[in-house]
Amino acid sequence: MQRYHNLSGHSGVVAYELGDDTITVQFAGDDSPCYLYDAHKPGLQAVREMQRLAKAGRGLSTYISQHVRDNYARHWTR
C-alpha cells in the first residue's frame, strides 16, 4: 500500500494500492478497513477517476462518499 498524501488534511483515506483496473483504499480507524473497487463494482470509469484522485492526493474520500458509497467489490479489516 502507498501512503495517501491527503493534501486537504481532512481525508479518511490513509493508503491506497493501484492495479490495472482496480484500486484498494485503506481508511483510517481502529480496524483499518480496506475496500477493493474494480471494473465491475463500481465500474471502470469510477475506478479510473479514483486512481487519478489517489495519485493527486486530494479528493478521493469525497469522491467515494459522493459517487461510489457502498458500491465496492470487497472489503476487509487489517
Closest by CA position to 48, among listed 34, 60, 58: 60
Do you know the residue count of the chain?
78
Residue with cell 479528493: 59
- pLDDT per position as a tens digit, 10-68: 889 999 999 999 999 999 887 888 999 999 999 999 999 999 999 999 999 999 999 99
Q: What pLDDT score does 32 carry?
A: 83
Confidence label for 8 from pLDDT (cuts 50, 70 and 90): confident
Q: Which three cell numbers stand for residue 49?
A: 477517476
* Structural domain boundaries, residue 9: 2-77
- Mind spelling out the 3-state secondary structure of 10-57? CCCEEEEEECCCCEEEEECCCCCEEEEEECCCECHHHHHHHHHHHHHC
Q: How many domains does the chain have?
A: 1
pTM over 0.75: yes
